[in-house]
Amino acid sequence: MEPRPGEDKPHLPPPSLWPVGFAIGVVCILVGLIISWAAVAVGAAVTVIFGFLWVRDVTSEYRRTDVGIVEAPGGPESARGGAPPIPAHKGEAAMPEPEPGERFPRSVFLENATLGLGAVIGGIVTVPVLGFAIAPMFQHQHHEEIDLGPITNFKEGDFVVATFLSNPSEGEISRRTAYVRNNGFLSGKPSFTILSNRCAHLGCPVQPNGPVFDTRKVDEKTKDGEVSLTPTLPAGGFGCPCHGGQYDTEGNRTAGPPVRALDRYEFYIRNGRLALGHTYSVSKVVGSGASAKIKKYRATDPGEHVDGLEQLFYPLQPPH
């Protein structure tokens, strides 16, 4: 039987691009967890928007509450060519008697099952990734201070090559090197310049551009293991043997590919002993010694800018 004028034709869901947009949003979230939180935010927004539009499109047929018959202009009589209406007790039935319908059609069940299964699979894939990516942010990033020994081991004005264990529980694999100079006193407090030997280009170990006096080496036993202190005279600053990066005695870049100055260590004086804290990044040092003006930045990986427009092209740093 053909539908009467005004009756709806069988509804078939039109082709939709919403699932494609939803999938793109999920991919943006997963990629953003690696490169940048901004990409995660964009991916989440795309996922929510396209997911809403997808669900809205799929459920549009079931949200209709009033499907009426449109009358032809001039009333029902004009729709039949002006013929008078047939009495209800005469003629054939307009449509066959409806058969008992399904209370819960299989198509509805399949659509809901598909959406539910997709949600479960998406949760299985994304929840572990989000957990590993976000959990470190809520964990206490504890860092023990490293005891380098009495400050009397550091002669004022001279550099010392200090090697120490950054994590004594890991043993020699955690041994690090720093260049330490006693700057004297500033406002009645000891002042030190402590440079990391990690090149700001690709992380190679920089070396003093001057003699190292191994015969005057001092080994100090501390609670954090053995600390070696070797005097050096880096009159020409420090240099990277890998790619030619050069730095002055304040750690400022003077030549080569590095994009910034050498990182520095925070330091503390504990009962007359020198202790190291976290490292922090530096763009440029103005001045020298105890009077140097330093703007601290969060510890950043080698090769990355910490100021200027260039910093916008690098992802957020994970907790250190």
**Cβ–Cβ < 8 Å for 26, 43:** yes
Cα(64)–Cα(285) distance, integer angstroms: 69
- Whether the model clears a pTM of 0.85, i.e. scores above it, the answer is no
What's residue 99's pLDDT?
64
Q: Two tokens at 61? A: 């047929």
Give Cβ neighbours of residue 97 (< 8 Å, ≥ 6 apart). none
Domain holding 56, by residue range, is: 14-61
Structural domains in the chain (count): 2
Cα(283)–Cα(280) distance, integer angstroms: 10
What's residue 163's pLDDT?
95
Q: Is 172 helix (H, G, I), strand (E, B) or coil?
A: helix
| Structural domain includes residue 195 | yes
Residues 258 and 156 in one domain: yes
What's residue 207's pLDDT?
95
Domain boundary among 45, 61, 77: 61
What's residue 92's pLDDT?
62
What's residue 70's pLDDT?
46
Q: Two tokens at 250? A: 């304040």
Specify the DSSP class assigned to residue 237.
-
Backbone Cα Rg of the chain: 37
Residues 36 and 166 in one domain: no
Residues 52 and 155 in one domain: no
Instruction: For residue 231, give the CATH number of its domain.
Output: 2.102.10.10
What's residue 180's pLDDT?
96
| Structural domain includes residue 101 | no
| Structural domain includes residue 218 | yes
Phi–psi pair at 58, nearest 5 degrees: -65, -35
Cα(213)–Cα(231) distance, integer angstroms: 6
Measured in Å, how far apart are the chain's first and last C-alpha atoms?
73
Q: Give the pLDDT means over successive 10-residue stretches in the chain (320 positions).
A: 52 66 82 77 87 79 53 50 62 62 63 77 74 60 78 92 90 91 90 95 94 92 89 93 94 93 94 92 90 89 81 57
What's residue 67's pLDDT?
47
Residue type, 320: H
Cα(162)–Cα(180) distance, integer angstroms: 7
Residues 211 and 307 in one domain: yes
- Beta-ladder partners of 180: 160, 194
